[in-house]
């Protein structure tokens, strides 16, 4: 089972509280969590990544148990080895594109140098066609280039799965279709399980082997059927 998720969490916003209870199991390599904003998608993704701790439940991804409240397993975000692409990419503004991508190659207290030469970093820069902007800072490059930088940075760490938070929301409509194809291609090449959250049904059509619909913190019933097989 690639995705073995069953989590519960009470989120407190001042006096209001929101109950998140999401459970699904799937073997789809390309999984999509679909739902309107406010349905708890990003919180679910953060729980999977270990950034937010669930009150109880189980998170298993690609055969590894990352969290289990009954056996007291709770891996730190560092130990989970998941590639995570934030909605606004969260690139480090004080580092160049090359330093951002190389970030995980150094585990010490210092950032990789600007003039770093590392075969795998160069490989990802080429794969994502980022050579012209490799020495630029994130605020100097386009939205599409930022997205590719964020993907390259996340994939450098040899992750066991790729988690994407609305990866196309910050981009032009025209660019989206093109980048969806790129992402599908990337996933086929790397053979890495991918889970994306989105509120855009175009993303579902283009990238979902299986869909889970979220509504007000719950899985909407009757939606865990696998979507049509890959074309």
Partner 1 sequence: MHEAWVALALTLKVAGWATALNLVLGVGVGYAMARWRFPGRDLADAVLTLPMVMPPTVLGYYMLVLIGTQGPIGAWLLQHFGIRLIFTWQAAVIAATVVSFPLVFKSARAAFETVDPQLEDAARLLGISEVAVFFRVSLPLAWRGVLAGLLLSFARAMGEFGATLMVAGSIPGKTQTLSIAVYEAVQAGQDDTANVLVAITSLVCVCVLLSAGRLVPGRVAPRN
Binding site for partner 1 (CB under 8 A): 49, 51, 76-78, 80-84, 86, 88, 90-94, 103-104, 107-111, 137-139, 153-154, 156-157
Query: Smallest gap, in angstroms, from Cβ of residue 64 to partner 1?
Result: 15
Confirm if 3 and 66 have CB atoms less than 8 A apart.
Answer: no
Query: Smallest gap, in angstroms, from Cβ of residue 146 to partner 1?
Result: 9
Query: Smallest gap, in angstroms, from Cβ of residue 104 to partner 1?
Result: 4
- Rank residues 109 and 119 by Cβ distance to partner 1 and give the closer one: 109
Distances in Å between the Cα of 53 and the Cα atoms of 9, 76, 77, 219 are: 8, 10, 10, 19
- Rank residues 81 and 199 by Cβ distance to partner 1 and give the closer one: 81
- Rank residues 26 and 99 by Cβ distance to partner 1 and give the closer one: 99
- Rank residues 121 and 208 by Cβ distance to partner 1 and give the closer one: 121
Confirm if 2 and 26 have CB atoms less than 8 A apart.
Answer: yes
For residue 80, what is the DSSP state? Answer: H
Length of the chain equals 231
For residue 2, what is the DSSP state? Answer: -
Query: Smallest gap, in angstroms, from Cβ of residue 93 to partner 1?
Result: 4
> Among 38, 43, 34, which residue's Cα sits nearest to residue 10?
43
């Amino acid at each position: 089972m690639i995705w073995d998720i069953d989590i519960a969490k009470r989120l407190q916003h001042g006096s209001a509280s929101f109950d998140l209870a999401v459970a699904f199991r799937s073997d789809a390599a390309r999984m999509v969590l679909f739902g309107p904003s406010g349905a708890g998608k990003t919180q679910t993704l953060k729980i999977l990544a270990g950034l937010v701790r669930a009150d109880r439940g189980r998170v298993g991804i690609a055969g590894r148990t990352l969290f289990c409240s009954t056996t007291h397993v709770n891996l730190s975000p560092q130990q989970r080895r998941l590639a995570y692409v934030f909605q606004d990419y969260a690139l480090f503004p004080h580092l160049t594109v090359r330093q951002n991508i190389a970030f995980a190659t150094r585990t010490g207290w210092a950032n990789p140098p600007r003039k770093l030469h590392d075969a795998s970093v160069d490989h990802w820069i080429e794969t994502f066609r980022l050579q012209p902007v490799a020495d630029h800072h994130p605020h100097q490059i386009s939205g599409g280039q930022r997205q590719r930088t964020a993907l390259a940075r996340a994939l450098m760490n040899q992750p066991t799965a790729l988690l994407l938070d609305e990866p196309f929301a910050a981009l032009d409509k025209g660019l989206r279709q093109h980048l969806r194809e790129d992402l599908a291609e990337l996933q086929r090449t790397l053979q890495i399980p991918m889970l994306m959250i989105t509120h855009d049904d175009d993303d579902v059509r283009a990238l979902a082997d299986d869909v889970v619909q979220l509504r007000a913190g719950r899985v909407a019933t009757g939606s865990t059927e696998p979507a049509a097989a890959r074309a």
